[in-house]
A and B are shown apart, each in its own frame.
Chain A
Amino acid sequence: AQSVTQLGSHVSVSEGALVLLRCNYSSSVPPYLFWYVQYPNQGLQLLLKYTTGATLVKGINGFEAEFKKSETSFHLTKPSAHMSDAAEYFCAVRGASGSARQLTFGSGTQLTVLP
């Protein structure tokens, strides 16, 4: 079975500060990794994904994430937070085959951006 752990259900940062949202995963097969964002009263939309190749991936709105196999991590960062970044963020993992082929989400991190 695969799983995703997001450390910190709530994160607060000041506008202009670094955003770091943590995600660790477990998977018995090479994973595909995703970060999604959910704004209030909306569905989820993709921020970025890692499949193969370069381990540092860039997404929309200035976010990026780095896949570190040795640490089984896929942390999300943004150099400078903006008020519009306030939302809930979900990390997700999907294996390429077998029992890990469903898309599994973490419990989410609510990001608050303080003026």
Chain B
Amino acid sequence: DADVTQTPRNRITKTGKRIMLECSQTKGHDRMYWYRQDPGLGLQLIYYSFDVKDINKGEISDGYSVSRQAQAKFSLSLESAIPNQTALYFCATQGTANTEAFFGQGTRLTVV
């Protein structure tokens, strides 16, 4: 089983719909991140959380919200999806500042 699991892997949704992307991890890490990847823009940080009570906005948080339900779970929500939120979304976990981050396989989201 993967250490970092994202569900769903692919999703097509309509403009205006609410959608939740889920991430769960078995690494026991406190730090969790949500990124979106667009061609030519690399990975842009949406939100990050350093423990259940520590949630922070990243560089592109507008239009998104998150919930850290437990140490192992970090969900990303699009309250009202719009087409320019079509992207590949990655969840990542990290143990401490100087250790590697572990990534999920990604969720490909298309908003039509």
Q: How far is the CA of A68 from the CA of B44 in the complex (A)?
A: 25
Taken together as a complex, chains A and B put the C-alpha atoms of A101 and B97 apart, in Å, by: 7
Interface size in chain B (residues, C-beta < 8 A):
25
B13 at the interface (CB under 8 A from A): no
A44 touches B103 (CB 8 A): yes
Per-residue interface assignment for chain B, residues 1 to 44, with 1 indicating a CB less than 8 Å from any chain A CB and 0 otherwise: 00010000000000000000000000000000101000011111
Q: A43-B90, A43-B104 are in contact. Are A107 and B42 (CB under 8 A)?
A: yes
A105: chain B residues within 8 A (beta carbon): 35, 42-45
On whether the beta carbons of B98 and A49 are closer than 8 Å, the reply is yes
- The count of A-to-B residue pairs whose CB atoms sit within 8 angstroms is 62
For chain A residues 39-79, which have a beta carbon within 8 Å of chain B?
42-46, 49, 51-52
Residues of B within 8 A of A51 (CB): 98
Shortest CB distance B74–A (Å):
14
User: How many residues of chain A get a CB closer than 8 Å to chain B's CBs?
Assistant: 27
* A9 interfacial contact with B, CB 8 Å: yes
Enumerate chain B interface residues (CB-CB to A < 8 A): 4, 33, 35, 40-45, 48, 50, 56, 58, 90, 92, 94, 97-101, 103-106
Report the 8 A-B pairs with minimum CB-CB distance, sorted nearest first: A107-B42, A51-B98, A43-B103, A46-B100, A105-B43, A108-B42, A44-B103, A32-B98
23 A-B pairs with CB atoms under 8 Å apart are: A6-B42, A34-B100, A34-B101, A43-B4, A43-B106, A44-B103, A46-B100, A49-B100, A95-B97, A96-B98, A97-B97, A101-B50, A102-B45, A103-B33, A103-B45, A103-B94, A104-B45, A105-B35, A105-B44, A105-B45, A107-B41, A108-B42, A108-B43
